[in-house]
Amino acid sequence: MPRKPIDIPCRVDHLSILSEDGEVDREMEPELSEELLLRMYRTMLLCRRFDERMLTLQRQGRIGTFAPIKGQEAQIGAVVPLEPEDWIAPSFREMPAEVWRGKSLESVLLTYAGYNEGGKIPEGLNNLPIAIPVGSQILHAVGIAYGMKYRRKRHVAMAFFGDGGTSEGDFHEALNFAGVFQVPAVFVCQNNQWAISVPRSRQTRSRTLAQKAVAYEIPGVQVDGNDILAVYVAVKEAVERARAGEGPTFIENVTYRMSVHTTADDPKKYRRDEEVEPWIARDPITRFEKYLLKKGLLTDQKVASVDEEVTREVREAEQRWALQVEEGIDPMGMFDHAYEDLPPHILVQRDELRRELEEKSSQRG
């Protein structure tokens, strides 16, 4: 009995379309309308400005802890190919993808300012709320995708997670279930190199994260995650495959967390500034901007006016949020949506709180 190699399909590509100076690979360049390209650019910039503003609000003590997204705006490319009937299961660093899919900036502010009400998802919007336990939401996308297959819908469920998430058991169980059941799921790993203070090299010895797909016999591809065109192309391919009933895909977007993990940590403790520097040149927004300038879709003047416009949009959202908070949000809302019908013992507890609040307000009055 000789020992011989087993033929295992294990091709893992790396995909990149835009260079750091915004030069495009003509063969790979996707055909996107001017309107869509500009909307992608505008949303990236909107999310950058919103992120910056939230950091200021957090430092001023007006909102609580949140996870900044700076440098990861090219993730928008992953949701551009989706239809409203498709679903996303985001983690906590997918604000740009959520905003592209219709989440309002004021709802983001409400959540980070500590109000449950910020989690409200409008009817018809198939975005799951953000999942904070790392990697745990990936399975939900797989179940949703099974439902789509069961109902014979040509829809897709997309899960987002980070490099740290690929160390969790739920990640492996999700890819395994997806492979076994051949569901229309797309797994988007935002490999931003850091899980708080732990570098990517401590999560796995694997050369790529994309190769983990090989074990589950689903296609895996590594993408320049700061190149919105490459992200778009890779995901579009995966989405089309899913819609055609050809099963799931795993996409590793190589990006970088330019800012803190959350506003509660200080990266100086675990990474040197020199390490961050090369990533400034790879900034997803400036690259895309250079591309659009070269293409003649943007001018310096237009760049300035878009910036002004999105800055105003952030300010207006902030005003709406502040007004809502000022008008007062009823603390009794904490009991809402615990169950469809609150059981008797919780009704009693709700009355306890109501009476306490009424007594407090009558003492004040």
| Among 39, 42, 70, 140, contact with another protein (rule: CB under 8 A) | 140
Clarify whether 261 is annotated catalytic.
yes
DSSP string across 68-118: --TT-GGGHHHHTT--TTSEEE--TT-HHHHHHTT--HHHHHHHHTT-GGG
The contact pattern for another protein, residues 225-264, with x = CB under 8 A and - = no contact, is ----------------------------------------
- CA gap 34, 253 in Å, rounded: 24
Point out which span in 44-52, 128-136, 246-254, 281-289 binds another protein (CB under 8 A): 128-136
* Distance from C-alpha of 293 to C-alpha of 281, rounded to nearest angstrom: 17
Interface pick for another protein out of 17, 47, 78, 142 (rule CB under 8 A): 142
Query: How many angstroms separate the CA atoms of 104 and 327, rounded?
Result: 19
Considering only 44, 45, 74, 148, the residue that binds another protein (CB under 8 A) is: 148
Between residue 154 and residue 173, which ones bind another protein under the rule CB under 8 A?
A: 157, 169-170, 173
DSSP 1: -
Q: Indicate whether 174 belongs to the interface with another protein (CB under 8 A).
A: yes
Looking at 73-81, 114-122, 225-233, 323-331, which segment touches another protein (CB under 8 A)?
114-122
CB of 251 to another protein, least distance (A): 19
Residue type at 165 in one-letter notation: G
Kindly tell me which residue out of 346, 352, 356, 359 binds another protein, with binding defined by CB under 8 A: 346
What sign has the CA pseudo-torsion 188, 191, 197, 202? positive
**143 counts as binding another protein under rule CB under 8 A:** yes
| Residue 270 appears among annotated catalytic residues | yes
Identity of the residue, 44 or 144, whose beta carbon is nearer to another protein in the bound complex = 144
Strand locations in the chain, DSSP E?
A: 13-15, 87-89, 157-162, 185-191, 194-195, 198-199, 220-224, 249-254
Pairing of strands 198-199, 194-195: antiparallel
Please select the residue that binds another protein; options are 128, 303, 306, 325, rule is CB under 8 A.
128
Q: Helix, strand, or coil here: 333?
A: helix
What single-letter amino acid sits at 30?
P
Q: Which is nearer to another protein, 122 or 199 (CB)?
A: 122
Q: How far apart are CA 237 and CA 176, in angstroms?
A: 21
Contacts of 272 (CB under 8 A, 6+ apart): none
Question: Which of 22, 30, 64, 147 forms a contact with another protein (CB under 8 A)?
Answer: 147
Active-site pick, 200, 257, 282, 287:
257
Give the Cβ contact number of residue 340 at 10 Å.
5
Nearest to 84 by CA among 96, 100, 71, 70: 100
Query: Which one of 48, 53, 241, 261 is the catalytic residue?
Result: 261
Residues in contact with another protein by CB under 8 A are 87, 116-117, 119-123, 128-129, 131, 133, 136-148, 150-151, 157, 169-170, 173-174, 176-177, 180-181, 336-340, 343-346
Enumerate the active-site residues. Answer: 257, 261, 270
